[in-house]
Structure formats: structure tokens, C-alpha cells
Amino acid sequence: MSDTKVHLEKIDDFRWRIPKGYKPGMKVEGIIYADEKILKDVHEDKALEQVANVAFLPGIVKYSLAMPDIHWGYGFPIGGVAATDIEAGGVVSPGGVGFDINCGVRLVKTDLRYEEIKDKIKELVYALFSDVPTGVGSKGDIRVSAKEEKEILIKGSKWAVEKGYGTLEDLECTEENGAISGADPAAVSERAYERGKAQSGTLGSGNHFLEVQVIDQLYDRDICDELGLDMGQIMLMIHSGSRGFGYQICDDYVRQMMPCLQKYNIHVPDRQLVSAPVNSPEAKEYLGAMRCAANYAWNNRQCLMHLARNVFERIFGMGWQKMGMHLIYDVAHNIAKIEKYVVDGREKSLCVHRKGATRAFPPGHPALPQKYKKIGQPVIIPGDMGRNSYLLVGTEKAAETFYSTCHGAGRVKSRTAATKTIRLDVLLKELESKGIIVKATGRGTIVEEAPQAYKDVNDVVDVVHNAGISKRVCRMRPLGVIKG
Amino acid sequence: MSRSKVRLLHGPPFENQKLLGAILTDKSYELIEHTADVGIRVKGKDLRGLFNNAALAMFDIIGEPAPIPSATSVKEIPKFKVNIRQKAENLEELFVNWLNELLSLSSAKGLMFVDFVINKLDRNKLEAQVYGEKIKNYRVNTEIKAATYHELKVQEVSGGWQAEVIFDV
């Protein structure tokens, strides 16, 4: 499965180039953010070939990018970023967003300290597992009528807040305030509604999780002070997406856009990169539906946080406000967004695809809430269940990556290889010895998601920090994990 | 395929190494290594056999029957029939559409499909009746979000047809 034939040119210690001439048809070069250590893994699969394939997209601007958590996906590599110039016929590709539209993460702080609650962590994790619906096709306790389903697609997290499942402050601390404009429920198929029904407030399966963590390292004291974060503080991280609703929208539009390849004379080496010019009726329809799924996902994570806050209230016997359970931020890592950038001295509207990559706006960016104007956008990087997770902030230097950074650790071992080589009982003992409790619905999930199947997130974050495309704020380690 | 045959493909719980071995020796399909997702290589004596085996392989990855309470016989487990019609520009698209339609119906209707009667099949069109059991009677191991076009192959080989497909999991 290795991809050793892709020869990379070194730009500097953290950036590597796939020359435009590598494959006839590439419109721009590829740039991979990685150091020597990470590069060894990158050559092990077909991810670099996929970076080159993305460079075929009509209207792609500057380069096809990959973040250091890059690995083999379908169509785009995971960790891939591509911006297309709308005015110049730039395209949007549903495969550049993926099936789990607006898969993303949210980070919630608490004022609880590890030393105070360490004896209650097991009880807390078991209660979270019992109250937060997990697993394939799981259905939630949050009841949504057919009329409300459509409301969610427009209102996003605001729907949950109006129901009493959160506050206005939560919306302020969510990308797009939890509801991107331009969502078009008429572009959503009946099947997508049927598939997404009753899945609001459910975690899902695979690499999705809800994790109780403790801050174990501070990197930027000033920003930590600004956010009210300190060593030993308990945090809550939620990783989930748009569930069956989003999968169906991607499936519908990959299918519908197939004829666009011929219609718009688009030549891509992989049909999963099927696309249409952003200004075409086909693309407008897709973006309208994709935004519905994005809003569905933000509302889903808002509902999940509400369920988790309720569990904390029950276990610790006080209101969530009293425990300081405020949302730090919620950010998508599978999405296409229309953003403005200065390219060659001219301001342009670009369609930025982030497929397993996180938006990372710098201090002062107009899209940020007032409270983050000074420090920049919080960027949340989940690691695997045995190592660490990070809070970073965006930087001005990330203009070179269309304000994008990594999204996680990135897999190195396939699920089948993990299943073959890792024993569940040994793994659970190992995690327990590190003080990590894991509860999962699917019996295969824990092994498939074992730390050995992932790159070390510390190495990945070192690259984005040292390359300057985001800045380390603090690090967490897991205490309890619930998974699907 | 009967319920008991589906079960033959699996080892006992938590002996995944054996489980993989069983799949490979059974020859109904092979797993293709992929870093993030799961791929399969599957064969059929003819096109119908290929479409049938690919569907069986996909649901075999998704889950396995949960133990049946001793008082219940296999015959008592109700099956639900769903009609499927698909059209596509070419055979590869038809193959992906077939698998994605099954995944979509499975998730929307809460069914695990176990039996596939393909009535009509050519390079552009498929008509089938598929039979599913309630998913609550199954132990679900892996969520498959969709079948993808990435590295997709559907080709005639000596002795029949072969396909390779990567699933987003």
C-alpha cells in the first residue's frame, strides 16, 4: 500500500512540496506540513497521491494542502485543504467535505479540579455512558417533531438553546454561531430526513467520543488566564457530526453531480472528487443541503453538551453554571466554506474545503466573537484515547493555509490491522494503568480506536505550532472516554 | 442466505484474529487494507452473484446476529421486504448506487438485509427485492457511512466477476 514513488521536495523543516509536474493535469503544486518523523508514516499509504489528485480541481488556488495528520481517505486525503476561486470557475466537491458533514469538536471548561473529584470520575463516566446515546444508529431522548427537524436545519444550535438546552453564550462560542446561513431544506431528500430522524443528541460510533479530561500542561499562560484555564482543571470534549443525515446528503449529491464532470468538462483522476462550479445550479443545491447538515451537526453537539451538563449536575449536586461549565468553542473539521482572501493583491471569494482540517482564524478576524478578538480563534485538537488532546489558537501566519490547521492525530494503522494485532483485555489494562476509564457500545470500537492505531498527537501539534499556522495554549490528558 | 450461514462467517466474540481468518478462508470476500476505512475484494460467478456477494459482505462487516433466545426459532424472526430500483450511467456507478441504497435503507428503516433477490440486472439498471431483519436482533460491529468511488473496480475475471470497493467507516 506504500506510495514511495511520490518524491517530495523539502521547502523547510515543516513543509514539503509535490511539484506540479508530478502528474499531468495538476493545476497547482501540493504542499504537505510535516517533519521528518511524520513523513515516514505519510509515505506508508496513498495519501500523497490524493494530495496530487486534489490539485486537479478546477479553480484551485495556490496549492493543494495537507496538514500533518494527513492519511489516506477517499477522494481528498484526510487532513486535506483546498481553496477554489469562485469567480474563476472554482468548484465545490462533496468528496472534499466527506460523508460526515460538519464532523467537529467542542471543548467545555469546568471549574472542577482533578484533586477534588478524582474519586468520582468512574461514577461520572458510567453516568455519561448511560445518559448519552451512543452507537450505530442510536436514537436519542431528545424528541424532535417532523416540523422541528426542518427548523433545526435553519436554526442549528439556536433550536436547542430556544428549547432550554443551552444559553446565548454557547451560540457565541460556536463557529457561525451554530447556524450557517444559506441552508436550504428544499435541497434535502426525504431519505435524508428519514435517516436523520431521532438522531439529534446522539454521539454515533467509530472515532466519535465524549471525553472527560484534565489539563496537564500550559503553554501560553496569558491566553490560559484569558480563558480561565489552569493546571489540574477538568475539561469535557465532544467529537461528533451530522450522523445519518449528513451521510445521505453526501451520497445524494455525489450521485447527482456525476453528470457534472462531463457537463462542465471537469477532469479528475478519482470519481470521488466529483464536483461542480460553485456558481452552477448543481453546486448551489449541494451547498444549500450541506449547510443543513452542518446546522444539524452543530445542534447535535449542543444537545450532547446539554445531556453531559445534566449528568455533571446530577453527580456533583450543583448547577452547571456553578461548576463553570462554559463552552470554550465548537469548530467543524469536515466542511466547505465561502471565505474572503487576498490573492495576488486582490480580494477574492474562495470556497475552502477542509476535509479533516480545522479553521484557525487569527486575532482580530471579523468572524470571531468579541471575547476572542484578542487571542484568536480557539482550535480544538482531539488526540487518541490514550494520549493527549490540545487547545490551540489561530495565527496570522495561517493565511498561507487559508487559515487552516490539523484536526487530530491521524490514523497510521488500519482498523483491520488494529483488530488483528491488539488485544482488548491488554489494551483496557494499559489504559486503566494510566488512569483512563473507557466505555463503548460496539465491541470492536475500542480496539479499532486504540492509541497504537494513531500518530502521536504531540508530534502532529509540534508541526503546526513550529510551522506557525497555530499556537499551543494548553494540553489535556484523558480520564474517561465514552464511545459508540 | 440463511441466518445460520451468516453466522458461520464469525468467530466467537473477542477472537477477532480467528474471525478474520474465517473470512479469508471462506473466500466469499477479502478485506483490503486501508488506513482509515475498510475495503473489500469480492467475487461472483456472474454479475448477479457479484452484486449479491458484495451486499452480503457489506452487511457481514456491519454486524452479526445477536444470540436468539432459546424459545425462539429462526423461522419466527420476521423478515421485511423492500423493493429496490436503481439506474446508472455505467456498471461501476450502478454497483456503488446499489450498495449505498442498501446502506441508506438499512439506516432509515432500521433493518439488516440478509437476502437479496436480483430480478433484473444489466450495466445500467437493477431491480431487486431485498429482505431485512430488525437491526435490534443484531450486534452491530461497524458503522459503514457509504461506499465510495475511490479505487473502485468492477471487472470480468476468469471464472466470473470481481469488484473492489472502499467503504467510509
Task: Band the pLDDT of B15: cuts 50, 70, 90.
Answer: very low
The answer to whether the CB atoms of A205 and B35 lie below 8 A apart is no
Closest residue of B to A443, CA-based? B141
CA distance B20 to chain A (A): 8
Task: Band the pLDDT of B2: cuts 50, 70, 90.
Answer: very low
Chain B CB within 8 Å of residue A17 CB: no
- Given the candidates 3.40.50.1820, 1.10.150.390, 2.40.37.10, 3.55.10.10, the CATH classification of the domain at B3-168 is 3.55.10.10
The answer to whether the CB atoms of A424 and B14 lie below 8 A apart is yes
Chain B CB within 8 Å of residue A335 CB: no
A contacts of B67 (beta carbons < 8 Å): none
The answer to whether the CB atoms of B146 and A250 lie below 8 A apart is yes
| Res B20 pLDDT > 50 | no
Q: Which residues of B touch A (CB under 8 A)?
A: 13-14, 16-17, 20, 31, 33-38, 62, 89, 93, 97, 100, 103-104, 107-110, 135, 139-143, 145-146, 148-152, 166, 168-169
Interface predicted TM-score of the whole assembly (ipTM), two decimals: 0.92
pLDDT tens readout for residues B24-57 = 334 579 998 888 889 999 999 999 999 999 999 9
| Res B21 pLDDT > 60 | no
What is the pLDDT averaged over residues B113-136?
96
Task: Please name the residues between 253 and 282 in chain A that touch chain B, using a CB distance below 8 Å.
Answer: 254-255, 258-259, 270-272, 274
- Report the alpha-carbon angle B36-B42-B48, nearest 5: 130
Task: Please name the residues between 36 and 65 in chain A that touch chain B, using a CB distance below 8 Å.
Answer: 44-45, 47
B contacts of A244 (beta carbons < 8 Å): 107-108
The pLDDT assigned to B71 comes to: 65
Alpha helices for A43-79 (secondary structure H): 47-54
Tell me the C-alpha distance between A34 and A26, whole Å: 21
CA distance B16 to chain A (A): 6
φ and ψ of A314, to 5 deg = -65, -45
Q: Does the annotation count A407 as an active-site position?
A: yes
Domains in chain A (CATH in brackets) are: 9-483 (3.90.1860.10)
Cα distance from N-terminal residue to C-terminal residue, chain B? 24
The residue from A71, A239, A333, A407 that is catalytic is A407
Average pLDDT, chain B: 83
Half-sphere exposure of A171 (CA within 13 A, CB side): 17
Tell me the C-alpha distance between A368 and A373, whole Å: 6
- Percent of chain A as helix, strand, coil, to the nearest 5: 40, 25, 35
The answer to whether the CB atoms of B16 and A420 lie below 8 A apart is yes
Closest residue of B to A243, CA-based? B145
Mutate: best of A74, A257, A274, A333, partner B, most B CBs <10 A: A74
- Give the one of B20, B135, B168 whose C-beta lies nearest to A420's C-beta: B20
Domain boundaries, chain B: 3-168
Task: Band the pLDDT of B73: cuts 50, 70, 90.
Answer: low
3-state secondary structure of A323: coil
CA distance B149 to chain A (A): 5
The pLDDT assigned to A245 comes to: 96
Cell output for B20: 478474520
The pLDDT assigned to A199 comes to: 82
CB A73 within 8 Å of CB A350 = no
pLDDT tens readout for residues A434-472 = 999 999 987 678 898 999 999 999 999 999 999 999 999
CA distance B142 to chain A (A): 7
The answer to whether the CB atoms of B35 and A71 lie below 8 A apart is yes
pLDDT tens readout for residues A220-257 = 999 999 999 999 999 999 999 999 999 999 999 999 99
Task: Please name the residues between 226 and 255 in chain A that touch chain B, using a CB distance below 8 Å.
Answer: 244, 247-248, 250-251, 254-255
A contacts of B17 (beta carbons < 8 Å): 419-420
Alpha helices for A57-177 (secondary structure H): 114-117, 121-131, 146-155, 157-162, 168-172
B contacts of A415 (beta carbons < 8 Å): 37-38, 142, 169
Helix (H) or strand (E) holding A465: helix A457-466
pTM assigned to the model:
0.93
- Report the alpha-carbon angle A410-A416-A420, nearest 5: 115
Listed as ranges, residues in chain A with pLDDT below 70 are: 1-4, 136-137, 443
